[in-house]
Amino acid sequence: MTGQTTHSVVAEDRTAVLRLRDVSVRRYTTDQVILDGIDWTVRPGEHWALLGANGAGKTTLLRLLGALMHPTTGTVEVLGSRLGRVDVRELRARIGHVASAQRVPQDLTAHAVVLTGHSGTVQPLWRTYDDEVRLRAHDLLTELGIKELSDRPYGVCSGGQRARVLIARALMADPALLLLDEPFNALDLPSREDLVEAMHQLAEGRPRLATVTVTHHLEELFPAVSHALLLREGRTLSRGTVDGVLTDALLTSCFGRDITVARRDGRWSAYSGRRAHG
């Protein structure tokens, strides 16, 4: 019986999309500790929120997950490959990465921007896109609910439309992992809600896809978000299912001021202010 249990645990762990063990990052010039002793496993179909105050280490952690840097100590495995033992250029091609600060030529149409996800380039490599690839780009625009933007220049799209174009671009490689670095940055309320709905539909339609979303606002979490990790001063304050992590006490500890959390119809909200006393 013991052998069967051990085998099942090992088999489950092999399915991990991300596995970090005792990961630390130090800045060599100042010996400043950016991340300290991070342990974290993300499995297929899990949708994680990564939360913490400015300077907590979120950006550095996301760079590790995207194979954009190596840890100072500890091990990072992404899609079954350990950093330091793999060609990171090939690994990055299998990871979907979305950031509002991505460089995108403003005159490219939305369809052309999505096509560049196939070649992993800023500018289109037109001769590398056959009919099947072009159709896939159209299908992804449809999946994200923006097929009508296909011929619209990226530069005249709204912030929410741009975010969905970038997600479609990231999905061209059919990644098992999608990293979202503050995708809701500077969006107005309607655009935020459109993106929340698009992300929820994407999660439901791709049951094996894992996502990690960096955000400052619980209101930006789509209902399919299942797990959360709280960072405080480079260390893990808490990680696990959203119900156990997104609590008044833990978020108060994470951000250093009283925070009240609410959940309604699968959506989260939080505020900080004077509590009412009965």
Query: Is the pLDDT assigned to residue 11 strictly greater than 80?
Result: no
Domain parsing of the chain, residue ranges: 42-67+87-271
Among 3.30.200.20, 3.40.50.1980, 3.40.50.300, 3.30.2320.50, name the CATH number for the domain at 42-67+87-271.
3.40.50.300
Question: What pLDDT does residue 15 have?
Answer: 83
Query: Is the pLDDT assigned to residue 3 strictly greater than 60?
Result: no
Which pairs count as long-range contacts for 25-32, CB under 8 Å and 24+ apart, including other chains?
Answer: 25/57, 25/60, 25/64, 25/69, 25/71, 25/72, 25/234, 26/72
What does the pLDDT look like over 199-212, one tens digit per residue? 999 999 999 999 99
What does the pLDDT look like over 160-179, one tens digit per residue? 999 999 999 999 989 999 99
Question: What pLDDT does residue 90 have?
Answer: 87
| Pairing state between β 267-271 and 260-264 | antiparallel
Alpha-carbon gap, residue 160 to 143, rounded angstroms = 15
What does the pLDDT look like over 16-62, one tens digit per residue? 999 999 999 998 778 788 999 999 999 999 999 999 999 999 999 99
Residue keyed to tokens 């250093």: 256
- If pLDDT is split at 50, 70 and 90, which confidence band does 83 have? very high
**CB proximity list for 149: less than 8 A, separation 6 or greater:** 110, 141, 157, 161, 165
| 109-138 mean pLDDT | 94
What does the pLDDT look like over 219-247, one tens digit per residue? 999 999 999 999 999 999 999 999 999 99
Query: Is the pLDDT assigned to residue 190 strictly greater than 80?
Result: yes
